[in-house]
Amino acid sequence: MEPLLHSEQGRKLLRLGPALLVFTSAFAARFLPEWGRLALGLATAGAVYWAVSWLADKTVRSRQEECRLGEELLQSQKMAAVGQLSSGIAHEINTPLAVIGQEAELLLLDLESEALKSRPELDGTREGVRQIALQVERCREITHKLLSLSRKLEAIVQDTDVNALAEDMALLVEKEAGLKSIVIHRNYAPALPPAATDPALLRQVILNLLNNAMQAVGCQGSVTVSTDMPARDRVRITVDDTGPGISPENISKIFNPFFTTKPPGQGTGLGLSMCLTIMERLGGTIQAASPPGQGARFEVVLPLRRQAA
C-alpha cells in the first residue's frame, strides 16, 4: 500500500475506494431484507469512515516524510558546500600562515641574540612575537582539522588489541594529568577479543576524548578509561570524568562542527566532530551522556568483525 501513496495515480485510485464501497453496498442492499439493509448501511458507514481516516492519516504522514527528507537533503548539500569552501579557504590560508610563522621565528631569534638579549625594554616585544608564533600555530591546527574534516578518511582495518591501545593513550596523557593532580583510573575487561578497526584513527579518537576529559576536570579530579563488551559482536571504550558535565541544552550539539563550550582561544570545536567522522568510517558509534552531578561520559563502540565504511 505504501508505494501507492508515493504516486499521484495511486492516491487517485485510493480516493475512489470509499465511493466504490458505497456503490457496492447500495447494489447489494437491493437483495436484502430491511434489517439486513440497516446492518449493511451501518457497516458501510463505519468502513467508509475508517477508510477515509486511514487515507487522510497516511497522506499527511507521507507529505511530512517527504518534507523531512527534503530538508535533510538540503542540509546535507549545505554541509557539502561548506566542506568544499572550508577546504579551499584552509589551503589558501596555510601559505600566508607559514610565512608569518617563519618571520616570527626569525624575529624572535634576533631578539634573543646576545646583542639584544640583555635589553629589558625589549621584553614586551619578545613576548608579543611569541604570542604571534603561538596564534599562528593555533591557526595551523584549525586549518589542518578543517582539511581533515572535508577529506575522505580511508580506514586501514586490522585486528587491534583495544586494551593495549587504550593503555597507550592513558600513559601518554598521564604525566600531564599528574601535573594537574588528575588521577587516571583503568578498568579494562580481561580477555577482550581484538576489534576490527584502524589503530591510528582510533588512537586519535581516544586521545581527543582523554584530553577533553582532563580539560573538563581542570584539577583535583579523575578520569576513568574502561573497556567491555556490550554485545557479542561489539567492543566498547568508555571515558568518564569528574568534571562539571554537559548541560542538557548542549548535549545534542557537541558533535556539531565548530561548537565548543570552552573559553575563547582554548578550543576550535572540531575535535568531537572529527571523532564522529572517524567512528562513522570505522563502522562504529560514539555517544555522550552527562548524568546530573556525575561528570561526562563518552562511549566508543567498535565492531569485532570488519565493517568499516
At 247, is the pLDDT very low, low, confident or very high (cuts 50, 70, 90)? confident
Q: Which residue has the cell 600513559?
A: 171
Domain CATH code at residue 268: 3.30.565.10
- Helix (H) / strand (E) element for 287: namely strand 285-289
Extract the runs of DSSP E, i.e. beta strands, from 84-190. Answer: 158-160, 182-187
Same domain flag for 91 and 110: yes
Q: How far is CA 190 from CA 131, 134, 185, 212, 298, in A?
A: 47, 43, 16, 26, 21
Which has the closest alpha carbon to 301: 214, 222, 206? 206
Please answer whether residues 238 and 209 qualify as being in contact, where contact means their C-beta atoms are separated by less than 8 angstroms: no
What would the pLDDT profile of 105-144 be if each residue is shown by its tens digit? 888 888 888 777 777 777 888 888 888 888 887 777 777 6
pLDDT of residue 210: 92
Identify any residues that bridge with 297 across adjacent strands, giving them in sequence order: 240, 289
pLDDT in tens, 53-107: 776 777 777 777 777 777 766 666 666 666 666 666 766 777 788 888 888 888 8
Q: Are residues 11 and 52 in the same domain?
A: yes
Q: Do 3 and 121 have their domain in common?
A: yes
- The residue among 151, 181, 200 that closes a domain is 151
pLDDT of residue 99: 82
Whether 94 and 191 share a structural domain: no
- Domain residue limits at 147: 1-151
DSSP code at position 135: H
Task: Report, as an integer, the average pLDDT of 272-281.
Answer: 85
182 and 214 Cβ atoms separated by less than 8 Å? yes
- Classify residue 169 as left (phi > 0), alpha (psi -120 to 50) or beta: alpha
Look over the chain and give the mean of its residue pLDDT values, rounded to a whole number: 77
pLDDT score recorded for residue 17: 57
Residues 295 and 188 in one domain: yes
In a domain, 308, yes or no: no
Which domain-ending residue is among 151, 181, 213? 151
Closest CA to 59 of 94, 132, 7: 7
- 21 and 133: one domain? yes
Mean pLDDT for 184-198 is 90
In this model, does residue 146 exceed pLDDT 70?
A: no
Domain boundary among 106, 136, 151: 151
Residues 198 and 251 in one domain: yes
Cα 227 to the center of its chain, rounded Å: 21
Residues in the chain: 309
Instruction: List 264's β-bridge partners, or say none.
Output: none
Q: Report how many domains make up the chain.
A: 2
Give the pLDDT confidence of 174-186 residue by residue, as tens digits. Answer: 888 888 899 999 9
Q: Per-residue confidence at 39, pLDDT binned at 50, 70, 90?
A: low
